[in-house]
Amino acid sequence: MAGGKGKQAKFAELGQMPNVFQNFDYKKPELVGANGPIELKGKWDELVFKNGKPIVLELACGRGEYAVNLGKAFPENNYIGIDIKGNRMYTGAGQALEQGLGNVAFLRTRIELLDHFFAPGEVDTIWITFPDPHLKKGAEKNRLTAPRFIELYRRIAKHAATVNLKTDDPILHTWSAETCTELGLPILERIDDIYKNGRPDGPLGIKTYYEGLNISGSNTSMYLKFALH
């Protein structure tokens, strides 16, 4: 599973990976795994992890650095990386298999459809890692911390669930905190510069591909943790 492969070869391999589940038609809430169609809503533990441990999502996972590295560091949890881009998740899914991480899986779908694939209360914790900041005027509704997404997370998460947002975009960071305040959601932690005054030796120090690109130009990684209720 070395690099240098074309997209088609990656897609073919992705379809054979036992830890990958894909929603090929966004108009239909159907998933296909390596063994064919599979219904996972409310059944991730019964059919995939089989260990009764909490389920943690990494949204906009890209290559899935958080799903893989947290999965390795915290075997007491299960992790699911979620993204629409199969060629990106190919990297993380392959690493999880190579490293024998039975507590790490990947779901290829649009985040907007999450409640088709998870039952109420099935999710314990959510990470959102370097999501697109959608900076254009009027595009705020597309941010993964917009009220409509928070409402969606509330539908699938446990009452005590938390959301962890890591971004290098100061506008998204501040706007997300303000959104929490407007919605009355408790902000549990806010770090404006992880590598200067955060805890970079723990989970917050896991570096993702987009973090390295420094697209925002801030050269600063920020963290926001908030409760969903």
Active site residues: 132
Closest to ligand SAM by CB, 44 vs 90, is 90
Contact with ligand SAM (CB under 6 A) among 56, 60, 104, 165: 60
We find the least distance from the C-beta atom of residue 184 to ligand SAM, in angstroms, to be 25
Does 31 interact with ligand SAM (rule: CB under 6 A)? no
Q: Which stretch binds ligand SAM (CB under 6 A): 15-23, 44-52, 179-187, 203-211?
A: 203-211
How far is the C-alpha of 225 from the C-alpha of 126, rounded, in Å? 10
How far is the C-alpha of 171 from the C-alpha of 7, rounded, in Å? 33
What does each C-alpha distance from 39 to 112, 134, 163 come to in angstroms? 18, 32, 26
The angle subtended at Cα 130 by Cα 148 and Cα 81, nearest 5°, is: 80
What's the gap between Cα 41 and its chain centre? 17
Contact with ligand SAM (CB under 6 A) among 84, 119, 146, 206: 84
How far is the C-alpha of 5 from the C-alpha of 28, rounded, in Å? 29
Does 151 interact with ligand SAM (rule: CB under 6 A)? no
Contact with ligand SAM (CB under 6 A) among 54, 209, 218, 220: 209
Contact with ligand SAM (CB under 6 A) among 67, 71, 79, 88: 88
194: tokens are 């992880």
Q: Which stretch binds ligand SAM (CB under 6 A): 2-10, 42-50, 98-106, 123-131?
A: 123-131
Does 129 interact with ligand SAM (rule: CB under 6 A)? yes
**Which residue sits closest to ligand SAM, CB atoms considered?**
62
Does 95 interact with ligand SAM (rule: CB under 6 A)? no
Q: Please, how many CA atoms are within 13 Å of residue 127, restricted to the half-sphere of its CB?
A: 29
> Look-up: residue for tokens 């303000």?
178
How far is the C-alpha of 99 from the C-alpha of 102, rounded, in Å? 9
Does 71 interact with ligand SAM (rule: CB under 6 A)? no
For residue 94, what is the enclosing H or E element? helix 86-98
Contact with ligand SAM (CB under 6 A) among 7, 28, 50, 110: 110
Does 112 interact with ligand SAM (rule: CB under 6 A)? yes
Asked if 180 contacts 146 with a C-beta cutoff of 8 angstroms, the reply is no
Enumerate binding residues for ligand SAM (CB under 6 A): 60-63, 83-85, 88, 110-112, 129-132, 208-211
